[in-house]
Homo-oligomer: A and B are copies of this chain.
Amino acid sequence: MSSKPFSSVWLREPRKSAAAPGRSREEIVAAAVKLLDEEGLQGLSMRKLGARLGAGATSLYWYVANKDELLELAYDQVWGEVVVPDPDEVGWRDAVSALAYGMRETILRHPWSADLIGRLPALGPNSMRVGDRIRRIFKAAGFQGLDVDFCGNTLTAYVFGMTIPEIAWLSSMGEEDIEQMRDAVRMAASAHPEMLESVDTLAGGDPGTVRRMSFDFGLVSLLDGLERRRAS
């Protein structure tokens, strides 16, 4: 196990900028997000980002302690895009659903963020805002004490666990490799009739639609299960 000491950008005071700073953290983070959206996590290097900003390779280290801090900043930016519903206006089930779909769509819009889930501390203001909202929704639903946290953990686990492989599926191949990939799975599954059956069943529908159906199936099941807990 590696076990490095814990650290995060959000625990350090940012540098105080002078009157007219050439660059700013915001500018750097925005450029990083843009580069990540365009070229993925692998496409981001400190040198490349520096070059894009017309700066020397290592200038960024003035604004940011290291690459991980930059990624923390970019990651929190993504969480800022998640639409958080107001639980007082729509019943808790609808609020949870909206939030789950919102999280999913945001991650799909920034596929590189899926690679960061759980690998980087999520202590930024936007992450906190989403976490806060999740708690409020479940409290408003009537959950208490530890159960409020457990509900939140369960929901985010489901959304993350469902979305991460979705991203992998989408990005590991182009558009028309689909049939080629299905053949691959068929071959890998040749020893297991059940699995083969699965491939063929799924091959019928449009992949995007099937994924959405799958997401909805699990989400509804989860909500049903939570509702049962709440009632008891």
Residues of A that sit less than 8 Å from B by CB:
1-6, 8, 10-11, 38-40, 42-43, 111, 114-115, 117-119, 121, 123-125, 128-129, 131-132, 135-136, 139, 145-151, 153-154, 156-162, 164-165, 167-168, 171-174, 177, 180-181, 184-185, 187-189, 191-192, 194-195, 197-198, 201-202, 210, 213-214, 217-218, 220-226, 228-229
In angstroms, Cα B118 to Cα A172, docked, is: 10
Q: Are B132 and A188 in contact (CB under 8 A)?
A: no
Q: Are B221 and A154 in contact (CB under 8 A)?
A: yes
Chain B residues within 8 Å of A149, by CB: 198, 201-202, 214
Which secondary structure dominates where chain A touches chain B? helix
For A211, give the chain B residue with the smallest CB separation.
B153
In angstroms, Cα B218 to Cα A146, docked, is: 12
Q: Are B218 and A111 in contact (CB under 8 A)?
A: no
Chain B residues within 8 Å of A174, by CB: 3, 5
Chain B residues within 8 Å of A11, by CB: 184, 187-188
Say which residue of B111, B181, B222 sits within 8 Å of A1 (CB atoms). B111
Q: Are B6 and A184 in contact (CB under 8 A)?
A: yes
Say which residue of B131, B153, B194, B217 sits within 8 Å of A218 (CB atoms). B153
Q: How far is the CB of A109 from chain B (nearest CB, A)?
A: 11
- Identify 25 residue pairs between A and B in the complex whose beta-carbon atoms are under 8 Å apart, listed by A's number: A2-B42, A5-B177, A6-B173, A6-B177, A6-B180, A8-B188, A10-B184, A10-B188, A11-B187, A118-B164, A121-B184, A132-B189, A135-B198, A146-B213, A150-B213, A150-B214, A151-B217, A153-B162, A153-B217, A157-B157, A158-B218, A160-B164, A221-B222, A224-B229, A225-B225
Decide: A3 near B147, CB < 8 A? Known: A153-B214, A162-B153, A228-B221. no
